Amino acid sequence: MNTPTHKPVAKLIERLFLATALATGTLGVSPAFAQVPAAPVTNGKPQVTPPKNDAALRALTPVPAKMLLNPPDNDWLMWRRTYDGWGFSPLKQINADNVKNLTVAWSWAMTPGATETTPLVHDGVLFLYNWLDKVQALDATNGDLLWEYKRDIAVEIPRQNGNNAAKRNMAMVDDKLIVATSDAHIIALDTKTGKVIWDHETEDYKKGWRYTGGPLVASNVIVQGMSGCGNAMPGGCFVTGHDINDGKELWRFHTIAQPGEPGGDSWNGLPLEKRFGASTWNSGTYDPDTDTLFLGVGQPYPHIAEIGGLLPKKEGANNDALYTDATLALDPHTGKLKWYYQHLKNDTWDLDYAYERVLVDIPVDGKIRKAMVTVGKLGIIEVLDRTNGQWLWSKQTVYQNVVSAIDPKTGEKTINQAAVPHIGQTTTNCPADPGSRGWPATAYSPRTHMLYIPLNEYCSDTTPVPIEEGKSYTGGSRAIFARGQVPNSDGKIGRVDGVDLFTQKAVWSDRTRAPQTGAALATGGGLVFAGALDRYFRAYDDKTGKILWQMRASNIVNSFPITYSVKGKQYVAVAVGNGSSHARSLATLTPEIAVPDGGSALFVYALPESK
C-alpha cells in the first residue's frame, strides 16, 4: 500500500530493481516481487536451539548409505525420494476415492523469502530448510519444533539476490543432515541435535559463488553442484565430491570444458578466462547398478552468443560450448566423465537443461532400454540410453520456435535461425527465457508409466544489451526480455501434462490461467499433486488428469511437495512462499492474480480422523 510516507522508498526500490534488471537481463519482473528480507543477526556464530527431550528425537535412527538404495515407504530421505528421480511415493492411504476429504493437519510459519525447499522425513521427524540457512527439525505429526539451526550469514548475501539464499534440497546419511549454505559451504548437522558436525568451505562466496540446488549422497560420496556462474566467474562452474565423514573435497569436475582436455576446443577459440556459465542448478540422480551419477548443466553466459564471443563462428573453430546444456554421466568416486550428451549447442536464449534426470526402464522398438529422461526449458521430452548416452527419442509438449527439427537417430537439433538473437535486433523466441518448465520437477509413476510435467506457455521478445566499448563482461544475461503469450493464446499459461513413456503419447493435459510454479508429486494412491501461482494446491487423477481436490494456500505453491507416513497415517506436505525468480517472472503474465508479499509457510495435509 503506497501511502505518501512510503513513496520515496518505493521509488528507490524501483530504481534499484530496474538497474539490476538491466544488468542481469531480467527486465520485465515487477518490482513488487523484488523482495529483500532482512538477514537475521546471529552475532557471528551459528545458533542452535537446544533439542527437546522429545520422544520423536529419541526414536530417530541413523540413515546408513545402504538405506538410500531402498528407502522405507514411510520416509522421504532425498530430493525426489529415490535415486532414480521419480518423485513417486508408493503410499496409498490417501487415494483417488478419499482425497476429496483431505484437510490441513498442521502448518508452520517459515522465514520469508524464496521458498523452493524439499522437506525430508525420517522416523517421524521432518527436516525443513528455510530461506537464508535456517534449518529446523519438526515433529512430523503435529509441527512441534524439536531443534533449530541458524547460520551466521553476511548481510550482503540476501542483498545481492534473494534467490542466493534459497536451497532446493538437503541430504541425509548416517546421523548427518547435509546442507549447502548461502556462503558456499557444505555442512553436516547432527540429526538429533542440529549441532554442526563438520563445515567445509568450497569457495569464497564474495567472488560470486553460490548454491541453489542441494547435495546428493551417492555411493558414500556427497556430490554438490556449484552455481553463481553468471557472475562472470572465469572458467565457469564445477561439481565437487566430498567425504561423508569430514566434508573433505575428494574431486572436482569442471562443467566448462578446459583447454587441452576433451571438449576444450568447443568455445570458438575463447580462452578459459572468457568462458562463463555452466551452473548445476539442481541435485542429480544416481544409478547404483552402473555406479553412475547423472547431472544436468546450465547455459553459457552471457546468454547472447554474439556478446559472449560464441558467434559468429570462427573459421575452423567449434562453438558448441561444452558442457553447457548437457547431461553428464560421472563416476561418483572420482568425478571422471563416463559420457555426456549435449542437448542444445551454443545456447543463446537461456534455455538450459539443468533439471532432474529421471531413470526408468522403458520399451523402445520392442526392447527394454535403461533410459534416462529429461525435459529442458524447451519443453521437449528427451530420452537417452543411460548406459552410454545413445539418443532414443524425443517428444515436444508446448509450442516452441527455437528448434525446427530433431534428427530421430541422433537427436541433433536444427535451429530456426529467425529465433536467434542478434545485437541491434529484437527477436521472438518461444518459450521465454525462464523456460516452458523451470526447476519445479517432473514426477514419474510406475502405475501408469506416465511422466507428469509442470509446464508454462509463453514467449519473449529478446533484445541484446551490448557491453560498452572498452568495458569487460561483469555478469548477467546482457538482454532485455519482454515476455508475453504464445501466438493465438487463449490466455491460459499453465499446464500439467501426463505423457506415457511406454507409448510416447500425451494422455492428458490440464491447462490453467495461472502459471504452474510447483513440482509434481505422484503417489501409489493414483494421485498427482502440483501447485500454481494462484496459490492452489491440486490433486489430479493420475490416469485422466481430472482434478479431484484443491485447496488454496496462503502463498504461491513454489516448492517440491512430498508425502510420508507416521504410525500408519499418511501426510502430504508442501512449502509455499513468494520470492523465487521463476515465479516472479511468470507473475508478470497474469497481473490480475494477486500474490502476497510474504508469508512463507509449510502446509501439511491429511485425511480427517475417522469417528
The owner of cell 528407502 is: 71
Residues 6+ apart with CB under 8 A from 597: 32, 35, 578
Count other C-beta atoms under 10 Å from residue 178's C-beta: 24
Q: Let me know whether 81 and 9 are in one domain.
A: no
Burial of 249 (0-12, 13-18, 19+ CB in 10 A): middle
The span from the CA of 564 to the CA of 317, in Å, is: 53
In a domain, 611, yes or no: no
SS3 content of the chain, % helix, strand, coil (to 5): 10, 35, 55
In a domain, 470, yes or no: no
312: left (phi over 0), alpha (psi -120 to 50) or beta: beta
CB of 167 within 8 A of CB of 73? no
Structural element, H or E, at residue 68: helix 65-69
Q: How far is CA 377 from the centre of its chain?
A: 12
Structural element, H or E, at residue 329: strand 326-330
The span from the CA of 108 to the CA of 603, in Å, is: 7
CATH of residue 399? 2.140.10.10
Q: Let me know whether 6 and 70 are in one domain.
A: no
Question: What is the pLDDT at residue 611?
Answer: 64
In a domain, 27, yes or no: yes
Give one DSSP letter per residue of 155-219, joined into a string. THHHHH-GGGG--S--EEEBTEEEEE-TTSEEEEEETTT--EEEEEE-S-GGGT-B--S--EEET
pLDDT per 10-residue tile (average), the chain, 611 residues: 37 36 36 37 60 85 97 98 98 98 98 94 98 96 96 85 84 98 97 97 92 96 94 93 98 96 96 95 97 97 95 96 98 98 97 97 97 98 98 98 97 97 97 95 98 98 95 92 95 98 98 97 98 98 98 96 98 94 90 92 95 64
CB of 250 within 8 A of CB of 243? yes
Q: Let me know whether 20 and 49 are in one domain.
A: no
Q: Let me know whether 249 and 125 are in one domain.
A: yes
The span from the CA of 217 to the CA of 394, in Å, is: 30
The span from the CA of 439 to the CA of 559, in Å, is: 9
Q: Let me know whether 8 and 76 are in one domain.
A: no
CB of 117 within 8 A of CB of 169? yes
Residues 6+ apart with CB under 8 A from 181: 133, 151, 153, 187, 211
In a domain, 525, yes or no: yes
In a domain, 515, yes or no: yes
Q: Let me know whether 295 and 345 are in one domain.
A: yes
What's the grid cell of residue 333?
A: 568416486
Q: Let me know whether 314 and 439 are in one domain.
A: yes
In a domain, 487, yes or no: yes
Q: Let me know whether 398 and 461 are in one domain.
A: yes
Question: What is the pLDDT at residue 162?
Answer: 64
Range of the domain at 252: 35-465+477-606
In a domain, 323, yes or no: yes
Q: Let me know whether 323 and 425 are in one domain.
A: yes
Question: What is the pLDDT at residue 161?
Answer: 66
The span from the CA of 197 to the CA of 187, in Å, is: 8
The span from the CA of 126 to the CA of 149, in Å, is: 14
Residues 6+ apart with CB under 8 A from 367: none
Q: Let me know whether 139 and 2 are in one domain.
A: no
In the chain, the number of structural domains is 2
Burial of 95 (0-12, 13-18, 19+ CB in 10 A): middle
Q: Let me know whether 45 and 10 are in one domain.
A: no
From residue 469, how far is each of 211, 307, 348 by CA, in Å? Answer: 32, 12, 21
The span from the CA of 400 to the CA of 431, in Å, is: 6
In a domain, 471, yes or no: no
Q: How far is CA 389 from the centre of its chain?
A: 23
The span from the CA of 218 to the CA of 285, in Å, is: 8
Do β-strands 88-89 and 521-523 pair in parallel, antiparallel, or remain unpaired? parallel
Residue 307 dihedral angles phi and psi, to the nearest 5°:
-75, -35
Q: Let me know whether 78 and 26 are in one domain.
A: no
Count other C-beta atoms under 10 Å from residue 377's C-beta: 27
Question: What is the pLDDT at residue 159?
Answer: 76
